[in-house]
Amino acid sequence: MLAAALARELAEAEVLERERQMRAVFDAALDAMLCVDASGLIRDANAAAMTLLGCGRAGVVGRSLAELAAEPPRPGTPALADVLRGERVSGAAEVVHAGGLRRSVEFTGIPDIRPGRHLVALRDVSERKQLHARLALADRMVSVGTLAAGVAHELNNPLAYVVANLSYVDEQLTLLAPRLAAARSGCGREPDLANALLDAVHDARDGAERMRVIVRDLKTFSRPDEERAGPVSLAPLLDSCVSVAWNEIRHRARLVRELADVPPVQGCEARLGQVFLNLLVNAAQAIPEGHADEHQIRVSARALAGERVAVEVADTGSGIAPEHLPRIFDPFFTTKPPGVGTGLGLSICQSIVSAMGGEIQVESALGHGTAFRVVLPASGPDGAGAPGRGAAPAARARGRILVVDDEPLVGTVIQRTLQGEHEVTVASSARAALARVAAGERFDLILSDLLMPEMTGMELYRSLRERAPELAGRVVFLTGGAFTPAARTFLEQEPVECVEKPFELETIRALLARRLVTAGSPRS
């Protein structure tokens, strides 16, 4: 009898001990755990469950399991309350946090852990889902960038001859206008046709110029397969960034630009464009819409001691809370609503800038504004004179020009516009150009497309170097962007000059004037 009582006592103590252990496991579990009764009422909840639902024990115990889900399950998918039917279930759901936000969970329901009690374990997977969504978005951005590079490239050829033809018509009409006006006033008719035509051409040139800028900007922000570091002129790059961000900026702030006499920096133009664009968009988004006259975004650049350059983007927006400041460069840290920010911007900026040997500094005053400063290495003195941007020399000379482009209209427009000043020959392929050279023709300058089907401009150049080396030194490439890796290596290794399509006639004229003088073979 005594022995039986002792055994019972021991067994009870063991049960109590096990219960204590179970309780400790239940309370310490990182996943939310709910214990529900047969009618579906929650009878117990661990600490993780209270965190998940955003309320204390009293706010959880006594609620019905079914009402935790934000929405009824889709037909055919498991529901939280299925465990009440005595089935072991697993599924996904959304539960509502006391703050009103929804949390995504994966759940498992285990029936009858003891008579009349079921266990439901819930794992909060909201962050993981957000992360996936953001990675997918980042991935899409890469595809969009690649697409943009292709579109920019395809638009460049037609734009090249639209822009050049319009400037030709403009020039010729300007010359003709006084004569037309005189002739018309002599016969007493409407004298203003020439001016109306000139206005029409100016409007068309404005439109083409806007397209040219859009294409140039697209090229700046597209992602080439491989990246080239070199001297980057900051003022035009920052101007491109401002024009891409202009829609975000213009309703919120005045833009102040202080970019005089900044030396070029050493880096990759497309990547730096991404950095400054993100800083500009962040600055704009920190300012409320509708009071543009009260706010300012200042973009400035200046040389620092030690061959470095600082670019600053400063705004008069919301500022950054001191507790957020240490986290703003973390990937996915954002205070913006979903759809506005991914929180990747600054972390990407940070990695781009440090890969270029630079750093990003930030100063912020809550309620007053923020300044981001990007410090970059200046490029050496040899980088100062980027090709194609030099000033036009005074001297002019008549020369024999060969234009090689598989897009016939590019050749035609150069021929049409420069024929009066130079002798222009057009070849629609590199082979046709080589045939002319083989037949003994000589040219003072060869303007060649870089990428052409069959035989590229690079092959033409190499072939000229073997057959007529003096002509190889007179090749200038016309490029439409979206370089292939081979083209990029070629341009890095060979001492050749490039002109970007679409080009203004003045750019070509200045190039010819300079090259025909320096070539030392002017013809008159």
Ligand X SMILES: Nc1ncnc2c1ncn2[C@@H]1O[C@H](COP(=O)(O)OP(=O)(O)OP(=O)(O)O)[C@@H](O)[C@H]1O
Footprint on this chain of ligand X (rule: CB under 6 A): 278, 282-283, 286, 315, 317-318, 320, 324, 328, 333-336, 341-347, 370
Q: Which residue is nearest to Mg ion (CB)?
A: 345
Residue type, 194: A
Residue 282 is a binding residue for Mg ion (CB under 5 A)? yes
- Select from Mg ion, ligand X, none the partner in contact with residue 463, using the beta carbon and a kind-dependent cut-off of 5 to 8 Å: none
Cα 112 to Cα 354: distance, rounded to the nearest angstrom: 57
CB of 145 to ligand X, least distance (A): 15
* Nearest approach, Cβ of residue 294 and ligand X (Å): 16
Our CB check for ligand X shows the closer of 295 and 422 to be 295
Could you tell me if 216 and 249 are in contact, meaning their C-beta atoms sit under 8 angstroms apart?
Answer: no
Residue closer to Mg ion (CB basis): 286 or 434: 286
For Mg ion, give the closer residue by CB, 167 or 278.
Answer: 278
The binder of 336, among ligand X, Mg ion, none, by C-beta within 5 to 8 A per type, is ligand X
State the amino acid at position 447 in one-letter form.
L
Which amino acid is located at 278 in the chain? N
- Residue nearest ligand X, Cβ-based: 345
Q: Tokens 């913006």 identify what position?
A: 336
Q: Closest distance between ligand X and the C-beta of residue 251, in Å? A: 16
Smallest gap from residue 144 Cβ to ligand X (A):
14
Helix (H) or strand (E) holding 48: helix 47-53
Alpha carbons 499 and 278: distance in angstroms, whole number: 29
Site for Mg ion in 157-196 (CB under 5 A): none
307 Rama sector, left if φ>0, alpha if ψ -120 to 50, beta otherwise:
left
Question: Which option in ligand X, Mg ion, none does residue 357 bind, with CB closer than 5 to 8 A by kind?
Answer: none
In contact, 281 and 345? CB cutoff 8 Å = yes
Name the residue nearer to Mg ion (CB basis): 54 or 331. Answer: 331
CA–CA separation, 430 vs 125, rounded Å?
59
How near is the Cβ of 343 to ligand X at its closest, in Å? 4
> Rounded to 10 degrees, what is the CA torsion of 441, 447, 450, 456?
-10
Tokens of 27: 């309370």
Beta bridge partner(s), residue 362: 372
β-bridge partners, 9: none
Q: Please give the DSSP secondary-structure letter assigned to residue 378.
A: B
Residue 262 Cβ vs ligand X, minimum distance, rounded to whole Å? 22
Dihedral class, residue 445 (left if φ above 0, else alpha if ψ from -120 to 50, else beta):
beta
Which of ligand X, Mg ion, none does residue 283 bind (CB under 5 to 8 Å by kind)? ligand X
Q: Which is nearer to ligand X, 220 or 342 (CB)?
A: 342
Residue 344 interface partner, choices Mg ion, ligand X, none, CB cut-off 5-8 Å depending on type: ligand X
Give yes or no for a cis peptide into 178 (omega within 30° of 0). Answer: no
Tokens 């008159």 sit at which residue? 524
Q: Is the Cβ of residue 75 or residue 339 nearer to ligand X in the bound state?
A: 339
CB neighbour list of residue 135: distance below 8 Å, 6 or more residues apart: none
Residue 300 half-sphere exposure toward CB, CA atoms < 13 A: 13
Name which of 326 and 453 has its Cβ closer to ligand X. 326
Q: How far is the CB of 455 from ligand X (least distance, A)?
A: 44
Q: Which does 484 bind (CB under 5 to 8 A by kind): Mg ion, ligand X, none?
A: none
Residue 510's contacts (CB-CB under 8 Å, 6 or more residues apart) are: 390, 391, 392, 393
- Nearest distance from C-beta of residue 335 to ligand X, angstroms: 3
- Which residues within the stretch 338-377 sit at the binding site for Mg ion (CB under 5 A)? 345
Continuous segment of H or E residues that includes residue 315: strand 308-315
Considering beta carbons, is residue 282 or 370 the nearer one to Mg ion? 282
Applying CB under 5 A, which part among 15-23, 133-141, 278-286, 350-358 lies near Mg ion? 278-286
Of Mg ion, ligand X, none, which one does residue 370 interact with (CB within 5 to 8 Å by kind)? ligand X
Q: Which does 315 bind (CB under 5 to 8 A by kind): ligand X, Mg ion, none?
A: ligand X
Side chain identity at 330, as an amino acid letter? D
Q: CB of residue 341 vs Mg ion: minimum separation in angstroms?
A: 6
Residue whose CB is less far from Mg ion, 222 or 282: 282
The least CB distance from residue 279 to Mg ion, in Å, is: 8
Q: In 3-state terms, what secondary structure has residue 267?
A: strand
Question: Measured from the CB atom, is 157 or 278 closer to ligand X?
Answer: 278
**Phi then psi dihedrals of residue 370, to 5 deg:** -140, 145
Q: Which residues lie across from 312 on neighbouring strands? A: 300, 373
Residue numbers of the site for Mg ion (CB under 5 A)?
Answer: 278, 282, 345
